[in-house]
Chains A and B, each alone.
Chain A
Amino acid sequence: GESVGLHLPTLSVQEGDNSIINCAYSNSASDYFIWYKQESGKGPQFIIDIRSNMDKRQGQRVTVLLNKTVKHLSLQIAATQPGDSAVYFCAESDMRFGAGTRLTVKP
């Protein structure tokens, strides 16, 4: 993903709404892509991954979409909850991370 300097992209949603977090990746040879969630003061935590031969994968309340044509990855969170507030990072199979998006959920 591209660096955005000191300011993370931010997304603010209302509790119960769906959230969509986007990521642009650079290496078209990556075998898989991973989404991580990082809460304040903690290390990143694995959410879901997708292999490069797939275009969609679903987990519990989360869906990841992969568009290899435009090198784009998205994470959809259904019925967003206050506990989903965190910074979300995508990573490629070479274990390089994107810049992240800060998600804030308003009650």
Chain B
Amino acid sequence: DTGVSQNPRHKITKRGQNVTFRCDPISEHNRLYWYRQTLGQGPEFLTYFQNEAQLEKSRLLSDRFSAERPKGSFSTLEIQRTEQGDSAMYLCASSPVGTNTGELFFGEGSRLTVL
């Protein structure tokens, strides 16, 4: 399967703990996006990378959130000192540069539950 892969698929943690999610985009896709989605809502943009450069961050991304893409391939999203309000599905998507459509290819998501 050469689609976008996210791990872990599910994470249950206690409030105050740190969690890290990993995203492996489609090979050769330069752009990588992170979104957060809560029940009944559309995906909320968090941040995006072009290769290893983080080009945009949403105001939703508090200082407890950090994303990296050190080698321009996989990316990690870390949430420090988790809060119950962080419970959501975290979606990763990738796309190639130069596409005319802007189509994003999404992974299946990583669901976070903070107790």
Q: Residues of A with Cβ closer than 8 Å to B? A: 1, 3, 5-8, 31-32, 34, 36, 41-46, 49, 51, 89, 91, 93-100
A43-B91, A95-B104 in contact; A89/B45 too (CB < 8 A)? no
Contact A49 B42 (CB under 8 A): no
Cβ contacts A to B, 15 pairs, < 8 Å: A5-B40, A7-B40, A31-B102, A32-B102, A43-B109, A44-B93, A44-B104, A45-B106, A46-B101, A51-B100, A94-B45, A95-B102, A95-B104, A97-B44, A99-B41
Count contacts on B: residues with CB < 8 A to the other chain.
Answer: 23
Q: Residues of B with Cβ closer than 8 Å to A? A: 4, 33, 35, 39-45, 48, 91, 93, 100-109
Query: What chain B residues lie within 8 Å of A36 (beta carbons)?
Result: 104
